[in-house]
């Protein structure tokens, strides 16, 4: 009786890499609507926004895990995530809370500029802590992305420095880079519960700081979309995809959010971006698309060769079995 054929591990890793790229890109697209949704809110207390956004994100993630894993398996995933999951949850809580608070102290341009360094920070952390190599192509793409974002925000950068705002922006970058590296390092740990934990931590902190929780019905509807779809869905996509990719690549793909965010604001709120924003965004997109094109070309050239090797090995095995059977019959 013939045995089922198992694809080589390299082919499986190639397929996993493509899936990871698609999921992380999807998370960046979802997150890019955050600024557009926030523009609809007229809530003065940032902590109220953090609270409701985190609550609805947590509810979405819980529902997502119940549908995907079931109640008993969801409980097991929370228990099995261990300290890596707790660390990732704390990182997401720190990044999401700091982002909303930073908007009150500094410009979006300053925040985006600091966040453009996330791929570089993640690459350095992965190399220093775990000796995870970074290809020259990835380094070039990271440099191009940083240059593109610098062009994008050059018109908006101010000479005034806000120590609080810049510190929060740096904290966002460090926290997100740490979450990316840990998710990749512990790829066998499902990090959706960790993302849910992060939203609950953020909601708890915000509840102690908010001046109240009352919002209008229209604001509540926006907060549901802001939390469940923008924050919760984005987290689910990211933690599922980042475990399949090198840390630097996952963080690099996340910079698509930086390019798309001004586009949605322009389309929905009729705020036409400046020329430098368009030029810088084009540089970032070109760098990312060029990088992905090379990756796909490499994979397309590798997978068929591996498949040919597998076919040859299968035929060789069949021939050996036939020779053995012939030898037994002759005896």
Dump pLDDT digits (tens) for 163-178.
787 788 889 989 999 9
Q: How many domains does the chain have?
A: 1
The answer as to whether 195 is a domain residue is yes
What average pLDDT does range 282-289 have in this prediction? Answer: 81
The answer as to whether 147 is a domain residue is yes
What pLDDT, on the 0 to 100 scale, is given for residue 49?
Answer: 93
More confident residue, 60 or 320: 60
**pLDDT score of 213 more than 90:** yes
The answer as to whether 192 is a domain residue is yes
Kindly report the pTM of this predicted structure: 0.76
The answer as to whether 32 is a domain residue is yes
Which H, E and C letters describe the chain, residue by residue?
CCCCCCCCHHHHHHHHHHHHHHHHHHHHHHHCCHHHHHHCCCCCCHHHHHHHHHHHHHHHHHHHHHHHHCHHHHHHHHHHCHHHHHHHHHHHHHHHHHHHHHCCCCCHHHHHHHHCCHHHHHHHHHHHHHCCCCCHHHHHHHHHHHHHHHHHHCCCCCCCCCHHHHHHHHHHHHHHHHHHHHHHHCCCCCCHHHHHHHHHHHHHHHHHHCCCCCCCHHHHHHHHHHHHHHHHHHHHHHHHHHCCCCHHHHHHHHCHHHHHHHHHHHHHHCCCCCHHHHHHHHHHHHHHHHHHHHHHHHHHHHHHHHHHHHHHHHHHHHHHHHHHHHHHHHC
More confident residue, 263 or 330: 263
The answer as to whether 60 is a domain residue is yes
The answer as to whether 317 is a domain residue is no
Domain extent at residue 161: 18-297
Share of the chain above pLDDT 70, in %: 80
The answer as to whether 322 is a domain residue is no
The answer as to whether 302 is a domain residue is no
Tell me the per-residue pLDDT of 21-55, one tens digit each, with 9 for 90 and over. 999 999 999 998 988 898 898 888 989 999 999 99
Q: Among 4-13, 121-130, 148-157, 245-254, which stretch is predicted with the lowest mean pLDDT?
A: 4-13
């Amino acid at each position: 009786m013939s045995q089922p054929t198992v694809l080589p591990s390299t082919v499986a890793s190639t397929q996993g890499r493509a899936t990871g790229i698609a999921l992380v890109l999807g998370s960046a697209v979802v997150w890019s609507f955050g600024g557009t949704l926030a523009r609809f809110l007229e809530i003065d207390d940032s902590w109220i926004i953090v609270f409701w956004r985190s609550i609805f994100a947590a509810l979405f993630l819980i529902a997502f895990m119940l549908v995907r894993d079931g109640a008993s398996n969801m409980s097991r995933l929370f228990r099995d995530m261990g300290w890596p999951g707790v660390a990732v949850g704390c990182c997401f809580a720190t990044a999401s809370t700091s982002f909303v608070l930073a908007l009150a102290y500094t410009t979006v341009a300053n925040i985006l500029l600091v966040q453009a360094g996330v791929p570089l920070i993640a690459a350095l952390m992965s190399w220093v802590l775990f000796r995870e190599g970074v290809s020259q192509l990835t380094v070039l793409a990271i440099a191009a992305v940083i240059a593109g974002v610098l062009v994008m925000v050059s018109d908006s950068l101010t000479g005034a420095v806000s120590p609080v705002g810049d510190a929060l922006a740096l904290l966002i970058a460090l926290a997100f880079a740490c979450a990316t590296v840990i998710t990749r390092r512990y790829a066998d740990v499902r990090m959706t519960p960790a993302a849910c934990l992060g939203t609950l931590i953020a909601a708890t902190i915000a509840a102690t700081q908010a001046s109240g929780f009352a919002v209008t019905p229209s604001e509540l509807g926006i907060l549901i979309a802001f939390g469940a779809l923008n924050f919760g869905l984005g987290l689910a996509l990211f933690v599922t995809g980042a475990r399949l990719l090198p840390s630097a690549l996952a963080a690099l793909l996340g910079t698509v959010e930086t390019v798309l965010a001004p586009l949605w604001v322009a389309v929905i709120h009729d705020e036409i971006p400046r020329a430098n924003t368009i030029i810088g965004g084009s540089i970032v997109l070109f760098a990312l698309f060029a990088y992905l094109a090379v990756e796909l070309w490499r994979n397309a050239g590798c997978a068929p060769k591996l498949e040919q090797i597998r076919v040859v090995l299968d035929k060789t095995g069949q021939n050996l079995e036939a020779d053995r059977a012939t030898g037994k019959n002759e005896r």
